[in-house]
Chains A and B, each alone.
Chain A
Amino acid sequence: MKSKRSITTRKWTDRLVRAFSALAVALAVLTMLWIIGTVIAYGHHALRPSFLINPSRPYGIANGGIANALLGTIAITFGAAAIAVPPALLGGIYLSEYKDNRAITSVLRFSATVMMGMPSVIIGLFVYMIMVVPSGHFSGLAGSVALAIIMYPVIMRSTEDMLGMVPYTLRESALALGMTRTRTTLRIISFAARKGLLTGVLLALARVSGETAPLLFTALFADSWPTNYFGGPTANMPVLITEYATNSPFAEMHQAGWGAALVVMMLVLTINIATRLLFRGQNDGH
């Protein structure tokens, strides 16, 4: 049996591959923990009540906070969701439920994939050209539009996937009762997939809530409360973090930047964990 490789060699190869794979996973997890640890280490000093309640103040004025940026980010992100979610859900329904024309759906699906990979800085620049330049001012709304463009394909594809997980027999049994196609889709299939759909939306929200590049061109920043969402620069967390943590010469601002980073990180982690818990029950056992 000369041609046969020895059992020992094969066993060791197996062990080696397994060890390296495990190591690779550990590396990813460690990186995450390292990031979280770093942000906590640098950011936790800033977390005082006043930091969360006060608006940001210009350089050199004491007791600045992040409340305006937090509100601004909420306004911009939810604005983006309001713009993107309804049509993205419909788009996902089309891709999943109406396979009338394979050529069209595959082109649409491919376009969505391309859009998902589009660098966000380019989307920011685009919205800058079509909204900020013509109107002559930055605005929170422009920021929402940029984030909406990023969310759109993500939600569309997750919707398609989630609806695709609903077994076909459920569609058939609804139709077999004399239900129309539209009602089957909206009332039975979407409802059966509701947790998955919500998960997709939340993950997209979490994904864009930390996007910085598109906001630099659109919402920019302001030390005021975000009352000028439609017509002027609007405070937001990502730009605040960029400005404070890197561009500022003042130590207290560095600290505020890290503090803000910690807040954003906690928010995103919370959304992710909440989504995870929500989705654990999955779609009604089907």
Chain B
Amino acid sequence: MATKISARNLSFFYGSHQALFDNCLDIEERRVTAVIGPSGCGKSTHLRIYNRIFELYRDQRASGELLIDGVNILDPQIDVLELRRKVGMIFQKPTPFPMSVFENIAYALKLHFKLPRKELQQRVEQALRAASLWDEVKDKLKNSGLALSGGQQQRLCIARAIAVEPEILLMDEPTSAIDPVATLKIEELMLDLKEKYTIVVVTHNMQQAARVSDNTAFFFKGHIIEDGPTARIFTNPKQKKTEEYITGRFG
């Protein structure tokens, strides 16, 4: 299986505080990779380098290399807007824009593509179908995106992210603010989506990691302690720390 993302000696700093230490990690294409570890271990920080969203904050800095298809995206020459089209992100709390369901997706599309009205509508429908949301919202496309339930809002955000044809989806604890039934739907969706996209998901929920992921990386205090196929990590971890975490002895 081809490597889509490759972190090489990735370190990260909040001002003078170092949060990640020489992370090295290969992420396989069209697979779900789960990133696990106790709170504050750097999981989200690591993920937030992949689309350079951390650059919103002035005192945050990454060093090392992050290769996507062999290209170091930390290179200042990289067009960050195009990078973020290719690398979509889903956040912990659903973040629909303050506009209609339709516009939420159409707006994202119009950012990157010039489309005639008709095709725009088709693409919106496609995205909503791909996020298994179409049947629930097809009669309320004009309603505010904020009027949907939490789980629907999160799937709307997923639809919005995949509408712009990304290759990678980053999910930062995508179900931690959502009820169990809606969580299940999103997990099923992830399994569908990995046919087309490379998915990296940060999760606190060990069962979720076991259910949805092909590979798992275990983070501890900014270091990647261990990574590999999920089945092996969960049944036969090589590192003592990994075993302790997975068996619930800390974290």
User: Which residues of A pack against B, CB within 8 Å?
Assistant: 99-100, 167, 169-180, 183, 188, 191-192, 283-286
A180 touches B81 (CB 8 A): yes
B53 touches A176 (CB 8 A): yes
Min CB distance B159 to A, Å, is 12
In the complex, which residues of chain B have a beta carbon less than 8 angstroms from the beta carbon of A179? 81, 111
In the complex, which residues of chain B have a beta carbon less than 8 angstroms from the beta carbon of A175? 53, 56, 84
Can you offer 12 A-B residue contacts whose CB atoms are under 8 A? A99-B58, A169-B92, A169-B93, A170-B97, A172-B56, A177-B85, A177-B161, A178-B164, A179-B111, A188-B97, A191-B97, A284-B146
Nearest CB to that of B48 among chain A residues? A172
B21 at the interface (CB under 8 A from A): no
B157 touches A173 (CB 8 A): yes
Nearest CB to that of A184 among chain B residues? B56
A284 touches B144 (CB 8 A): yes
Number of cross-chain contacts by CB at 8 Å: 65
Min CB distance B73 to A, Å, is 13
**Category for how many chain B residues contact A:** 20 to 34
Q: How far is the CA of A105 from the CA of B181 in the complex (A)?
A: 45
* Residue among B88, B91, B112 making CB contact with A169, cutoff 8 Å: B91
Min CB distance A4 to B, Å, is 41
A284 touches B111 (CB 8 A): no
A174 touches B89 (CB 8 A): no
Min CB distance A170 to B, Å, is 5
B18 at the interface (CB under 8 A from A): no
Q: How far is the CA of A218 from the CA of B228 in the complex (A)?
A: 76
* Residue among B84, B91, B99, B157 making CB contact with A178, cutoff 8 Å: B84
Q: How far is the CA of A174 from the CA of B161 in the complex (A)?
A: 10
Nearest CB to that of A100 among chain B residues? B58
| Contact pattern, B 148-188, Cβ under 8 Å of A = 1, otherwise 0 | 00000000010011001000000000000000000000000
In the complex, which residues of chain A have a beta carbon less than 8 angstroms from the beta carbon of B58? 99-100
In the complex, which residues of chain A have a beta carbon less than 8 angstroms from the beta carbon of B51? 176
Q: How far is the CA of A188 from the CA of B96 in the complex (A)?
A: 10
A285 touches B95 (CB 8 A): no
